[in-house]
Chains A and B, each alone.
Chain A
Amino acid sequence: MGPLVPFIISEEFSLVIAFFLGIGFGFVLEQAGFSSTKKLVGLFYGYDFTVLRVFFTAGVTAMAGTLLLGHYGLLDLSVIYVNPTFLKSALLGGVIMGAGFIIGGFCPGTGVCALAIGKLDALAFVFGAILGVWAFIESFPLLESIYYADAMGPVRISDFLGMSNVAFGFLLSLMAIGAFVATRLIENKVNKRKPTIERRKRNRYALAAASLFVVLAVTAFLPGKQDIINMKIAEAKRQQTCVFKEIPADKLADEIVNKYYALNVIDVRTPEEFEAFHLPMAINIPFEKMMERQYEPLFKQRLKTNIFYADGDTLVRMACLKAKYIGKSENMIMKESALEFREMFYEAQAPSAEAPKGELQVYHFRTNTARQMNDLVDALKNIGAPVKREAVKIKGGC
């Protein structure tokens, strides 16, 4: 599941990848003609709208792709970087950049690109840009209040407008296509060109636009990863077909004492309930958070058995089903609830002296196991702590 940095690809290695992504970025910018300042400013005088076409197509492609990957659970949209919004500085900075664009004829990315193929004006632009950044840093104390004014956090425009991401995606795509058509007409007028377009080309454009809307429609209307899992759970519940492997509390306690390393005891209740009481060695994964990516390896590994427990029958079964659909690990549920476990092991009442032998044995087993479990938790308390090492001074001499 993406993003691959930092869990699958390290921060260090991401720098190497950055270099290769940069090659792709630079290559495409140059191929599109962004290394020519005349082509860039053509946008502002109406004779060449290449910039708008490339820019909008790229933005819409990446936007639709991001939504699609997110929909199928391949990319975690909740962790990717969304540029934070600071109203004043965004608008003021933007207008200053616009002035720089029309006077200098480049933007930083295209400037670097043009510099690479030997444009001297781009060299001057990049030099100027570095001076500009320096001027900003030196004047930062004066600007600090504007820089931090109207902080809105990493807000998405779709949230701001109160619509879903996909709905805004549709809107943006329509705007882009409208702009493509409109700019074509303007260009024809300014360049006094005949408004004709090759038939084959037109069909291809139509196909491209259609596939964009297909992608957006898939994200909007077809069930995503979450929905599919939830549907499977609902279906299994309705048909009552699933068989749960259950483990009685006595057996589980015994397993914890003897084979804790082969188990993941998972508490699917809320963190508050977990705090109040939990089984020894248990970890807390609230039911709603089971789909989060940090827990994924737990449900995909096949070395340890996952044992779920909760307070109610339904919740623990749902959790077990969910785990089953996320990964392939071996999953079981504890037959008893967490409260019953506590009563059985930690609040056991000593039976009277004339109780049957079986009852006495159970009592002794449970109190014994409870003690052992406590010892185990104590013994493993520092398992994550680093080993303390003391430097030994070598003493010489006689």
Chain B
Amino acid sequence: MKTSESTKPKAYMNPYLAGFLLGLVLLATIYITGRGLGASGAFKSVVIASVETVAPAHAENSAYYTNFNETNPQGPWKNFLVFEVLGVLVGAFFSGVLANRTGLKLEKGPRVSNGVRIAGAIVGGALFGYGSQLGRGCTSGSALSGMAVLSLGGILTMLAIFGGAYMLAYFFRKLWLK
């Protein structure tokens, strides 16, 4: 397929400029709300709301769900992170449209099949989701926001995430490299 000049994806932003802007967004978040950004918390809201709808009896008998409702009397949806992640979807889509990067696409390493990539994404997602709950936040909520407020736990989690990925990178090189 030939792509004309007008539909070619534009270059990415300079990483330092992007980082600076991201830092300003994070700073504004801290200034306005007193807390940082996040992402995995919204997934938790999805899970809790789904389980409460599908299996209300189970949710009532499980301590985790009842605890969540006690600490979040407004329910799982009326949550800062849920609205923030909705914004992320809109903002990223907006940016993708501006830069001609939208469209259904499966991105993968050169040596793997579509099936392997999808399976890898699901397994990796599951691990990330699991770890983010155990570590009280993911790359955004714990590592990035934690670094901004100099949280010891946040910085340790950050080191563990990147350290862990580096340690395992060699074993999964076939997923990504030629």
Chain A residue, CB-CB nearest to B38: A109
Does A80 belong to the interface (CB within 8 Å)? yes
Known: A5-B33, A109-B138. A116 touches B93 (CB 8 A): yes
Whether the Cβ atoms of A101 and B15 lie closer than 8 Å is: no
Are the C-beta atoms of B36 and A81 separated by less than 8 Å? yes
Chain A residues positioned under 8 Å from B132 (CB to CB): 93, 97, 108, 129, 132-133
Q: Which residue from B88, B95, B121, B137 sits with its C-beta under 8 Å from A112?
A: B88
Is B15 a contact of A113 with CB atoms below 8 Å?
no
* A87 contacts chain B at the CB level, 8 A cutoff: yes
**Which of the residues B32, B86, B101, B105 comes within 8 Å of A17, measured between beta carbons?**
B32
Quick one: which of A85, A96, A111 contacts B134, CB cutoff 8 A? A96
Interface of B is mostly: helix
Interface residues of A in 19-35 (CB under 8 A from B): 19-33, 35
A26 touches B128 (CB 8 A): no
Minimum C-beta distance from B110 to chain A (A): 10
Is B121 a contact of A15 with CB atoms below 8 Å? no
List of B residues within 8 angstroms of A168 by Cβ: 150
Contact B34 A83 (CB under 8 A): no
A-B interface pairs (CB < 8 A), number: 531
* Smallest Cβ-Cβ distance to A31: which chain B residue: B13
Chain A residues with CB below 8 A from B96, complex form:
30, 35, 116-118
Shortest Cβ gap from B41 to chain A (Å): 9
A43→B158 CA distance, assembly (Å)? 14
Measured in the bound complex, the distance between the Cα atoms of B156 and A254 in whole Å is: 61
Where chain A touches its partner, the secondary structure class is helix
Bound: A121/B120 CA distance, A: 9
CA distance A37 to B23 in the complex (A): 22
Given known contacts A58-B20, A103-B120, A98 and B161 CB-to-CB distance under 8 angstroms? yes
Chain B residues contacting A79 (CB-CB under 8 Å) are 34
Cα A31 to Cα B163 with chains together (Å): 26
Interface size of B as a range: 35 or more
Instruction: Evaluate contact between A22 and B91: CB separation under 8 angstroms.
Output: yes
Residues of chain B within 8 A (CB-CB) of A165 are 150
Say whether B24 contacts A65, CB under 8 Å: yes
- B126, A59: Cβ atoms closer than 8 Å: no
Q: Which residues of B contact A97 (CB under 8 A)?
A: 127-128, 131-132, 135, 138-139, 157, 160-161, 164
Q: Once the chains bind, are B27 and A45 in contact (CB under 8 Å)?
A: no
Contacts of A299 in B (CB 8 A): none
Question: CB-CB < 8 A to B167: which residues of A?
Answer: 98
Q: A28-B18, A100-B126, A108-B39 are in contact. Are A83 and B153 (CB under 8 A)?
A: yes
Within 8 A of B (CB), among A43-76: 43-45, 50, 53-63, 65-66, 69, 74-75
Which of the residues A45, A75, A137 comes within 8 Å of B133, measured between beta carbons?
Answer: A137
Q: Which residues of B contact A44 (CB under 8 A)?
A: 165-166, 169
Let me know if A105 and B124 touch, CB within 8 A.
Answer: yes
A133 lies within 8 A of B84 (CB)? no
Among A139-147, A233-241, A276-284, A359-367, the stretch that binds chain B is A139-147
Cβ 8 A contact of B29, one of A21, A118, A129: A21
Tell me the minimal C-beta distance from B90 to chain A in angstroms.
5
Residue of B nearest to A46 (CB): B169
- Contacting residue for B87 out of A25, A39, A58, A122, CB 8 A: A25
* Residue of A18, A97, A103, A108 with most partner-chain B CB within 10 A: A97
Instruction: Judge whether B87 and A20 touch: CB under 8 Å.
Output: yes
Residue of B39, B149, B165 near A83 (CB, 8 A) is B149
Q: Roughly how many angstroms separate A169 CA and B145 CA in the complex, as a whole number?
A: 14
Q: Check if B30 sits within 8 Å of A27, measured CB to CB.
A: no
8 A-B pairs with CB atoms under 8 Å apart are A16-B83, A28-B21, A31-B95, A90-B160, A96-B131, A102-B175, A117-B96, A131-B122
